[in-house]
Structure 1
Amino acid sequence: MSNWLDEIAWDDKGLVPAIAQDAESGDVLMFAWMNREALARTAELGEAVYFSRSRNKLWHKGEESGHTQKVREIRIDCDNDVVLLKIEQVGGIACHTGRHSCFFQRYLGDGPRWEAVDPVLKDPKDIYK
């Protein structure tokens, strides 16, 4: 019997893209990376753990902000090279900007330009001390 982690098509750096989706609304909340340990810890804890490439370490989502992600389901795509986490976003804020989703900017062709279309729910200065 093979280890379930061996079935993931890890990239040459040992990472796999991970998408966090609100289990209720279907909103895509964020994108991050996972390494083998992050995915194993996510499954073990029932909360999202990612790998921070900039800090080169595991990142338990919400460890500073309190906005953890309770994992309801873990899926992989047909090529086994993307992880989808269906989650419950504690506090309703997934983005470090204080918004519900990291995907808050919409392309507008009349500029062309990007425009923030989702509100800040909480000032980041009040989230990160």
Structure 2
Amino acid sequence: MNQDRTRTALRSSATCASPAPMPGRLPVDFDTPLGLNSKPLNDVPTGTDVEVTARIVNSKTLAGGRVALVIGDHNGNTAMVSMRTADVMTAYRVHGGPIKAGQMVIVRGTVARRTPALATIDGRAMRAVTR
């Protein structure tokens, strides 16, 4: 994949003004045997499929065809998301423009823990929310 196109898709690698004060506390939705549930990401078991609607706080292109995102809500709760660059490019094409800081997105993925204390989302799909 062309690095320039990835940079265009993630137009704003610069962040919003505030840091991510509450990593892993962003509420996510997931299915249980009793129906839909919502909890902070850190409270959801590893391997659970989740969906979340939030704003992009920060994005960074990584080596190996990956993109790291920080997404958050208006209360300062955030989650880290790792996605394949190809999945971000799909969102770029569907949305018709750059996916950037401040953009509202829906992310689907699986809860992962690379360190015991912090849950992240291994993203499978993302799409921009237009309102």
| TM class, shorter-length | under 0.3
| TM-score, length of structure 1 as denominator length | 0.26
More strand by share: 2
Q: Which has the higher contact order (CA 8 A, sep 6+)?
A: 2
| TM-score, length of structure 2 as denominator length | 0.26
Specify the structure having the higher radius of gyration (Cα).
1
